[in-house]
Amino acid sequence: MTKEGKLRLGILGLGEGRSTISAALHSKKITLQKMCDVNQALCEQRAKEFDFHQYTTRYEDMLEDPEIDAIGIYTPDKLHATHIKMAMENGKHVVCTKPLLDDLKDAKELIDIQRKTGKRLFVGQSSRFFEPLKRQRADFKKGLIGDLITLEAYYNADHRWFLSKPWALEPSFKWLYGGLSHPVDFIRWYLPEIDEVMGYGMLSANGKKGGLKNPDTMQFIYKAKDGRIARVSGAYSGPVQPALRDSEMSCILRGTEGSSQGDYMELRYAITDSTGEEQVVTWEHKSKHYFRFEGKSHHAGEYNNYLEHFADSINYDFVAYPDLKEGIGTIALLKTMEKTLQTGKPEKVDDIIAEYDLHEYLKREPVEK
C-alpha cells in the first residue's frame, strides 16, 4: 500500500484485462504499477491506448517488484491456478477474474498456499458490482421482499464474435464456465448451500458452424439443502431479444412478500415490495461509468467497483466475497453441472466435493449474508 492507503496493482493479461486497466487508472484507491502480457504488440497497444507505459512481457518482473501489492489475473481460464500460485508464493494478494479455476485438481494446493502466506484472494465476479444487482441485494437484505422463496437467473448473449479468439475453439473452453458462471454466481449469492442439480445442454447449429467444441445452450434446475429450488439458463451463439423486451443477463428474486429483478446491461431494476408498491429504477446517468469503450463488451465501471471493494478489504481488514473458498465452492457447483450434462441425471454437489477430497478444506464461517 502507498502512504495514502492506495493498493498498488499489477495486471496480467491485457486482452480481458482491458477494463481493469481503465478501472485502476480512474480509481482513487488503486495505483496501477505495471501491466504484463506475453504479447509484446498487445502491451504496446494498451500502452498507447491508456498512455501508460510501464509494461513487461515477463510475469516474473511483476512478481519480483516490491512496489506491487496485488496482481490482477485476466489470463485464459486454464492458466489461472498457475498464475495464482505464483502470485501468492511471491507475497502478492490476488484478484482473479471468473471463473476462478477450470478444474478442482489445484484447489487444495491453493488453499494451503493461502494459509501459509496469509495473502488474500478475491474472485472478480463482477456482476455483483453492477448497479441493479447492488440495489437488488441491498433491498433483499432490508427485507423488502420478505424471505426468499426461489430465484432464477440467466445470461443469454450473441457471443459469436468471441469465436475469433483462437483459444475459444479449444476443447478446454466451455461456455458453462466462461459465461454461465455469472448467473450461477447469483445462485450461490442467495442460496450458497446447493445440494443437487439437474440440467441439459446442447451445441447449437451456430456454435457448431463457428467451431465450438462444447455446449453453448444450457438450462439447469437446483435444489438447495433446505429444499428451496432455483434455475439458471444461458445461450451464447445466437441473437437475443431487444433490450426493451428483455435483458441479456438478469437475476429474479421471488419472496414471501414481494419480487425483484435486476437487469444487468440495461442498468435497470424493478421491485414489487412488501407494501405492494411497484417501482422501476434506472441508472442511465452512470452509463459512461460502466461502459467506457465501444459497444458493451467491456464493463470498466463494475471493475472499478470491485477493485475498490477489494482495496477496502485490505485497508480495513474484512473479507471481500467471493473469496478463495467461496470461489472454489462455485467451481464445485459448475463441475456438478458439467457432470449432469454428461450423465443426464441429477447429481450431488457433495459427491464432487468428496471426489476432490475438499470437505475439510471448504469448512468455513458462513459467507456474506
In this prediction, residue 363 carries a pLDDT of 78
- Identical fold between 7-126 and 128-291+324-355: no
In this prediction, residue 143 carries a pLDDT of 97
**CATH superfamily, domain at 128-291+324-355:** Dihydrodipicolinate Reductase; domain 2 (3.30.360.10)
In this prediction, residue 156 carries a pLDDT of 95
In this prediction, residue 297 carries a pLDDT of 66
Of 71-75, 104-108, 178-182, 194-198, the one with minimum mean pLDDT is 178-182
**Is 0.75 surpassed by the pTM of this model?**
yes
> How far apart (Å, rounded) are the C-alpha atoms in residues 30 and 33?
9
Q: Which CATH class is domain 7-126?
A: alpha beta
Q: Which residues contact 185 (CB under 8 A, 6 or more apart)?
A: 98, 125, 127, 128, 322, 330
The model's confidence at residue 153, banded by pLDDT at 50, 70 and 90, is: very high
**CA dihedral sign of residues 328, 329, 335, 341:** negative
Q: What is the dihedral of CA 128, 224, 221, 174, to 10 degrees?
A: 50
In this prediction, residue 165 carries a pLDDT of 78
CA-only gyration radius of the chain, Å = 20
At residue 338's C-alpha, the angle toward residues 356 and 120, to 5°, is 55
The model's confidence at residue 310, banded by pLDDT at 50, 70 and 90, is: very high
Strand order from edge to edge, sheet including 93-97: 55-56, 30-36, 7-12, 70-73, 93-97, 121-124
| Distance (Å) of CA 343 to CA 37, 338, 346 | 39, 9, 8
> How far apart (Å, rounded) are the C-alpha atoms in residues 327 and 342?
23
pLDDT in tens, 46-89: 999 999 999 999 999 999 999 999 999 999 888 999 999 999 99
> How far apart (Å, rounded) are the C-alpha atoms in residues 96 and 327?
10
pLDDT in tens, 234-268: 999 999 988 888 899 999 999 999 999 999 989 99
**CA dihedral sign of residues 253, 159, 321, 356:** positive
Arithmetic mean of pLDDT over the chain = 94
> How far apart (Å, rounded) are the C-alpha atoms in residues 358 and 218?
27
> How far apart (Å, rounded) are the C-alpha atoms in residues 302 and 55?
24
Q: Write down the domain spans for the chain.
A: 7-126, 128-291+324-355
Instruction: Find the mean pLDDT for residues 288-302.
Output: 83
The model's confidence at residue 163, banded by pLDDT at 50, 70 and 90, is: confident
